[in-house]
A and B are shown apart, each in its own frame.
Chain A
Amino acid sequence: MGRTLAEKVWDDHVVRRAEGEPDLLFIDLHLLHEVTSPQAFDGLRKSGRQVRRLDLTIATEDHNTPTLDIDKPIADPVSRIQLETLRKNCADFGVRLHPLGDVEQGVVHVVGPQLGLTQPGMTVVCGDSHTSTHGAFGGLAFGIGTSQVEHVLATQTLPLVRPKTMAITVDGELPDGVTAKDLILAIIARIGTGGGQGYVLEYRGSAIEKLSMEARMTICNMSIEAGARAGMIAPDQTTFDYLEGRPHAPKGEDWDAAVAYWKTLKTDEDAEFDAEVVIKADELAPFVTWGTNPGQGAPLSADVPDPASYEDASERLAAEKALEYMGLEAGQPLRSIKVDTVFVGSCTNGRIEDLRAAAELVKGRKVADGVRMLVVPGSARVGLQAVSEGLDVVFKEAGAEWRHAGCSMCLGMNPDQLAPGERSASTSNRNFEGRQGKGGRTHLVSPQVAAATAVLGHLASPADLSDAPVAAGV
């Protein structure tokens, strides 16, 4: 019988297989950041171990870094200690590090692909659940805990039990104004936050094949929000074109050999998945979340659901709690929800294509009164690219704040946070209670919906902007 893409990549990385034991898998790329690595380096020191493969390891700073005044000392002493600890660990062990201020610094999941370090058929790990992002290139990429970080540092391998596979087939064409973000939010709402548990998801079908690499990364990024540790998309010409010429992409003969191998990385016709979900792209619309987990979402044209409409008791309770936390009423149109903050950024939607899409919509328009819009490139390089295209000016002229690269308001670990009770439309990936700051309320949206929302002051789709015409002469 044929094999799925996930199975092929898995098999190619088995270092050791023995009855009754998990497979020992080789890890091709290990990404590090300041939050989940200190205790791992500590463990190495205690046991007198070294980093086995410095040439397969790279670190950057993202979660704690401020996005303003980056040349000044970091104000929060605890954040500062965490960054200093990473710097010391990287220096002591010899790990390549891109610290704040470096041109290659940025959110770890933006940095790997843009350097060309993330390639098809690889195993990629990082102490961060959104490592699933890298699966967009057709590799197995997943988040690991700190004990596993230490394990990979010491051995460049991980003992793992082979996951099951689930096909998510998306056929047809996404309607105008409907993005990869809307698609993945709709998938999570369909299968639930636990629906992908124990599976590697493979996104396939004609709608997926048409997506850019950026859009594919957005989708794979949020696989974890459906409970799956990894999501992947078979590599194709789009993937090869994205990679060619990047700093760490293979060159010359190596490139040809690599592409020949990458072309074999497809699920065989006769392979079987353990589960399958089919989604019709044509039926999708802009999607937003109303609750406190990424599965609590609905099309923007819908109303806030009535918890009483849920048959399952625990879902009903979860919906009640979510509405209470979010300060929403059942039956209220989603479009009537006013926000005070709009965040465009994160490893989900902080790439150049996302910034271009948001910029196009705010261009010549103004951010609504009382709304603060933060635009944060996913990496310093994305920031530079945006500046070279004049996007920073577009955002600033519209009244948005243009910031330096980092995780920023995706999570409340750095100065960019929501105050209690504040409400955001955010292009990030998690709307958990307090994720963006204590008491903050988050609606997950696409960059396009974020931009329209910023202009109109309430959750809105790009199509709603026809009521807010571009100022004459701009």
Chain B
Amino acid sequence: MEAFTTHTGRAVPLRRSNVDTDQIIPAHWLKKVTRDGFEDGLFEAWRKDPSFILNQPERKGATVLVAGPDFGTGSSREHAVWALQNFGFKAVISSRFADIFRGNSLKNGLLTVIVEQKIVDALQELTEKDATAEVTVDLEAREVRAAGITAAFELDENARWRLLNGLDDISITLQNEADIAAYEAKRPSYKPRTLQS
């Protein structure tokens, strides 16, 4: 995973609430067996509409998505995160994310930033008026900044540390091999097994 310290880029204001993962990446895209090549599936149904914001030429190359509340609800598909990343997004800002989506995003180094709705509104207004306006997501300072807007955001220390250092969860866990083995040794015998020994 790539380390994330701070990122500055142009933004796409997405004025929709409850954007579910079926909208982010429709089910028929889930048949791919790789982690890349999902960019064309991102918001596929909405992108058929030429007036959809992501289709606007001035939004090309934007890297920050400013979304309505309850972003990423629904299915656990990590493809939603890959699609956003494949498209070029580095961060998503919303007042509320679905739990699984948020977990998936942080595991893949897509920073999901939670700020109050009034900050989301302000960012959307700013970037709607001015497509060239830049938004900075500063993970070191835990701050979102844009012209006239500065807002702190919360992220637990552990997740932040992993993101800042680009650490892979599995290697961290495997450092605790002895704990896992000790736990396994005391599991009760009545727990089911899928393979008969």
Contacts and interface: CB of A to CB of B under 8 A. Distances in A.
Contacts of B192: 28-29, 116-117, 119, 122, 248-250
Contacts of B35: 39, 42
B80 to A, nearest CB: 9
B28 A432 contact: no
Interface stretch (A50-58, A302-310, A336-344): A50-58
Contacts of B194: 29, 54-58, 96, 117, 248
B12 to A, nearest CB: 18
Contact of A155 (B77, B99, B170): B170
Nearest to B26: A434
A99 interface: no
B129 interface: no
Contact of B170 (A82, A122, A154): A154
Given A151-B170, A159-B169, A197-B99, A15 B180 contact: yes
B98 interface: yes
B76 A143 contact: yes
A191 interface: no
Interface in A19-64: 20-22, 24, 26, 28-29, 35-36, 38-39, 42, 47, 49, 54-58, 63-64
Given A24-B176, A58-B194, A128-B76, A229 B45 contact: no
B100 interface: yes
Contacts, number: 193
Interface string A48-87: 0100001111100001100000000000101101100100
Interface stretch (B52-60, B85-93, B139-147, B183-191): B183-191
B100 A144 contact: yes
B173 A151 contact: yes
Contacts of A465: none
Nearest to B30: A35
A63 to B, nearest CB: 8
A376 B158 CA distance: 45
B118 to A, nearest CB: 13
Instruction: Give the interface residue-count category, chain A.
Output: 35 or more
A435 interface: yes
B28 A147 contact: no
B107 A432 contact: no
A20 B18 CA distance: 31
A435 B22 contact: yes
Instruction: Give the interface residue-count category, chain B.
Output: 35 or more
Contact of B18 (A76, A193, A198): A193
B33 A39 contact: yes
Given A15-B180, A193-B18, A257-B190, A151 B169 contact: yes
A24 to B, nearest CB: 6
Given A16-B179, A318-B17, A438-B45, A157 B33 contact: no
B173 A159 contact: yes
Contact of B73 (A35, A156, A227, A249): A227
A248 B194 CA distance: 8
A164 to B, nearest CB: 11
A122 B108 CA distance: 28
B121 to A, nearest CB: 11
B160 to A, nearest CB: 11
Nearest to A156: B180
Contacts of B136: none
A357 interface: no
A430 interface: yes
A255 interface: yes
Interface in B21-66: 22-23, 26-28, 30-35, 45
B128 interface: no
A145 interface: yes
A152 to B, nearest CB: 10
B28 A26 contact: no
Nearest to A144: B76
A330 interface: no
Contacts of A145: 76-78, 81, 100, 103-104, 107
A78 B183 CA distance: 41
A254 B189 contact: yes
A413 B75 CA distance: 14
**Which 7 pairs across A and B sit closest by C-beta, in order of nearness?**
A145-B104, A38-B33, A145-B78, A143-B76, A254-B190, A258-B190, A78-B31
21 contacts: A24-B176, A26-B184, A28-B191, A36-B77, A39-B35, A55-B195, A56-B193, A64-B31, A81-B31, A81-B33, A143-B75, A159-B173, A194-B96, A194-B98, A197-B98, A227-B73, A229-B99, A229-B100, A255-B190, A314-B69, A430-B75
Given A96-B195, A151-B173, A248-B194, 17 more contacts: A15-B176, A24-B176, A36-B30, A42-B33, A82-B31, A85-B33, A117-B194, A143-B75, A144-B103, A154-B173, A197-B98, A197-B99, A198-B99, A248-B192, A318-B18, A430-B75, A432-B23
Interface of B: 17-18, 20, 22-23, 26-28, 30-35, 45, 68-70, 73-79, 81, 96, 98-100, 103-104, 107-108, 156-158, 169-170, 172-174, 176, 179-180, 183-184, 187-195, 197
